[in-house]
A and B are shown apart, each in its own frame.
Chain A
Amino acid sequence: MKTENQKAWFFVLPVLALVAFNALIPMMTVVNYSVQETFGDNVFFWQGLDWFQQILRSDRFHAALGRQFLFTFLILIIEVPLGIAIALSMPRKGFWVPVCLVLMALPMLIPWNVVGAMWNIFTLPDIGLLGYFLNHVLGISYDMTQDPVAAWVTIVTMDVWHWTSLVVLLSYAGLVSIPDAYYQAAKIDGASNWAVFRFIQLPKMKTVLTIAILLRFMDSFNIYTEPFVLTGGGPGNSTTLLSIDLVKIALGQFDLGPAAAMSLIYFAITLLVSWLFYTLMTKDDLN
């Protein structure tokens, strides 16, 4: 006879209650809104999947989704190689290690909205340090409130400034875990620097890099505060990313139904891409 201790369930209960309150119930509220129409006063009309259809067919959603993918693609293609390059050039031992680590961690310690505000002031054409320098010293016309390209360059640069450190720190953690013997063996085997990177460093960094890319994907795909504070989605709609658009629909236009449907689609896309990426990256390890 197998005896089971059912008392264990009591210990799970507090966690269950907590998760229900901060995740499950709010999520179900969104599901509720996504299939109904409301005009306030808690009066609801059944709408079925209409909102989902409307969102999936709307050009506005397609445009925002396109901008979102472009933004995420750009920051990943810059931050990952740059992060690896910085990690590779950091010292492995000695006095400068803690100095480098603290300097690297610094941008990540600054709250999102502060980063947005900082870069906003930094890039103001007439008084901002960067804006003034570009316009009045180098003579390059730069105003992100007018020029979509300037706005894009600014939000991408800001994200690279804010988050490359994460890739650096994770890659560095992978690098320092490589025993000296690997480098010594490679030297004896006559391996080139590229071969050392390709066959020793990159494979050893693979696990942490997977995590780094996954985190950067999820964070950048859901980014809201920084571009909102910096550009507010403008000029025009040029930097209106998915989350900014979502808030506009939900809180600006008060279209709770479409907003709820959109956030569920948004969530599904994030989940799907993360899952695909993770599955592909860890496929080899299972064999």
Chain B
Amino acid sequence: MAKITLSKLRHSYLSTPKSDSDYALKEIDLDWTDGGAYALLGPSGCGKSTLLNIISGLLVPSEGQILFDGKDVTALPPDQRNIAQVFQFPVIYDTMTVYDNLAFPLRNRGRDEATVHERVMAIAEMLEVTEMLEQKAAGLSPDNKQKISMGRGLVREDVNVVMFDEPLTVIDPHLKWKLRSKLKELHQRVKATMIYVTHDQTEALTFADQVVVMQLGEVVQIGTPVELFERPAHTFVGHFIGSPGMNILPCELHQGSSVFAGQSVALEGPVQGAANGRTEIGIRPEFVSLADHGLPAAVTKVSDIGRHTVVECEAGGCRINAITDGAAPEKGSAVRLAFRQDMTRLYVDGWLATSPAADEQGAA
């Protein structure tokens, strides 16, 4: 187990990258504390798998360093880094039994059979696959195969970090939930650093203590699930996380207060720095309510998603979603929308520019 440090990491798949856009990863500096549960979240092609392969050693970065407990491992091959990786499609050795599959990484490292047996039995018990040990691995269901490939990583007691590359993609929906909670439980038992790559926000938010959100080869925000939800550092995070995502409304600034569609909108607090750029209001649908006063809007769509109703409105040429528990208005009706002030953020060029009002900061 180790603390992992990524220092000034850049990677390009081209041999002679010219501009910034040639880089799949643009300058990443990150610290992963020992024993943490991390998720790397981002849309397809944002560089999260590239980052994972660099940590595991399957890729050598164009620039920068990877340190395990302060020791430079940038040039080390995967088998010398003591890492484990679980892939999108379960990798198992078809011709071997489940037992031999789990024993494979240990036998390759020349451990004696007594140790191998002890470790395999312990891991099998942990993964609840003990009764399958003598079976041929080829005949297993996808979720069990994925458990076995996970087990091959965990069987080595000295493993530094376990990495998951969208491990639930091929798993049936009703088993996804089970396997996900199994993962969480495993993390608490083995206390190894775990990094979980996914584009599914539910998977990321349920698994991780810290979520790293990536976009276009850059880390946009690192935070707990609550932080990402309540205070997205970038409109991308607000939009990407949440269902539906954050409402992003282009606005103008007049003497410290924002104006959207001719209406003044109260922000959570003062705007930091010079706000000369593209200015947008960001507010989550959860904090938009239907009220007697406020922004006039027309209801364009009402969808019942079970526990709540999503009311889609239009105002000032923009779509605004509101989530309501109460009675939903008719489609086409005119409503007024109220924004909860302490949840109304301002973004300049995509980045968060407001901070909470002074008294609130004092209370927190």
Residue positions of A touching B, CB distance < 8 A:
179, 181-182, 184-185, 187-192, 195, 199-200, 203-204
A188 in complex: contacting residue of B85, B89, B94, CB < 8 Å: B85
Residues of A close to B85: CB separation below 8 A: 184-185, 188
User: Which one, B75-83, B301-309, B318-326, is touching chain A?
Assistant: B75-83
Give the one of A181, A189, A204 with max B CB within 10 A: A189
B142 in contact (CB, < 8 A): no
CB distance from A22 to the nearest CB of B (A): 41
Sampled A-B contacts (8; CB under 8 Å): A181-B87, A181-B88, A185-B91, A187-B58, A188-B83, A190-B108, A200-B93, A203-B94
Chain A to chain B: the 3 pairs with minimum beta-carbon distance, closest first:
A181-B87, A190-B108, A185-B91
Give the one of A181, A192, A203, A204 with max B CB within 10 A: A181
B56 in complex: contacting residue of A182, A188, A203, CB < 8 Å: A188
Report yes or no: A195 in contact with B108, Cβ–Cβ below 8 A.
Answer: yes
Complex CA gap A214/B99 in Å reads 33
Q: A190-B79, A199-B95 are in contact. Are A184 and B58 (CB under 8 A)?
A: yes
Report yes or no: A190 in contact with B91, Cβ–Cβ below 8 A.
Answer: no
Report yes or no: B89 in contact with A181, Cβ–Cβ below 8 A.
Answer: yes
Binding site secondary structure of chain A = helix
Report yes or no: A189 in contact with B56, Cβ–Cβ below 8 A.
Answer: no
CB distance from A221 to the nearest CB of B (A): 29
Bin the interface of chain B by size.
Answer: 20 to 34
Residues of B close to A187: CB separation below 8 A: 58, 77-79
Complex CA gap A188/B86 in Å reads 10
Complex CA gap A199/B97 in Å reads 12
B149 in contact (CB, < 8 A): yes
B84 in contact (CB, < 8 A): yes
CB distance from A72 to the nearest CB of B (A): 27
Complex CA gap A137/B310 in Å reads 89
Report yes or no: A182 in contact with B108, Cβ–Cβ below 8 A.
Answer: no
Complex CA gap A200/B93 in Å reads 7
B294 in contact (CB, < 8 A): no
A189 in complex: contacting residue of B77, B94, B108, CB < 8 Å: B108
CB distance from B31 to the nearest CB of A (A): 23
B234 in contact (CB, < 8 A): no
Complex CA gap A149/B85 in Å reads 55
Complex CA gap A189/B149 in Å reads 10
Complex CA gap A187/B87 in Å reads 13
Report yes or no: A184 in contact with B78, Cβ–Cβ below 8 A.
Answer: yes
Report yes or no: B93 in contact with A188, Cβ–Cβ below 8 A.
Answer: no
Report yes or no: B109 in contact with A184, Cβ–Cβ below 8 A.
Answer: no
A190 in complex: contacting residue of B95, B96, B105, B149, CB < 8 Å: B105
Residues of B close to A192: CB separation below 8 A: 108
Known: A191-B108, A192-B108. 10 other contacts (CB 8 A): A179-B91, A181-B87, A181-B88, A184-B53, A184-B56, A184-B85, A187-B79, A189-B152, A190-B109, A199-B93
Complex CA gap A187/B53 in Å reads 12
Complex CA gap A179/B91 in Å reads 9
Please name the residue on chain A nearest to B95 by beta carbon.
A203
CB distance from A94 to the nearest CB of B (A): 13
Residues of A close to B94: CB separation below 8 A: 203-204
Complex CA gap A185/B93 in Å reads 10
Please name the residue on chain A nearest to B93 by beta carbon.
A199
Residues of B close to A204: CB separation below 8 A: 94
* B window 59-85: CB within 8 A of A: 77-79, 83-85
Give the one of B53, B91, B109 with max A CB within 10 A: B91
Complex CA gap A185/B95 in Å reads 16
Report yes or no: B77 in contact with A182, Cβ–Cβ below 8 A.
Answer: no
Residues of A close to B91: CB separation below 8 A: 179, 181-182, 185
Complex CA gap A173/B153 in Å reads 30
Report yes or no: B87 in contact with A185, Cβ–Cβ below 8 A.
Answer: yes
Residues of A close to B287: CB separation below 8 A: none
Please name the residue on chain A nearest to B79 by beta carbon.
A190
Residues of B close to A189: CB separation below 8 A: 79, 104-105, 108, 152
Complex CA gap A188/B149 in Å reads 11
CB distance from A204 to the nearest CB of B (A): 8
Residues of B close to A190: CB separation below 8 A: 79, 105, 108-109
Q: A179-B89, A185-B91, A190-B108 are in contact. Are A199 and B96 (CB under 8 A)?
A: yes
Residues of A close to B53: CB separation below 8 A: 184
Give the one of A190, A203, A204 with max B CB within 10 A: A190
Please name the residue on chain A nearest to B139 by beta carbon.
A287
CB distance from B86 to the nearest CB of A (A): 9
Residues of A close to B77: CB separation below 8 A: 187
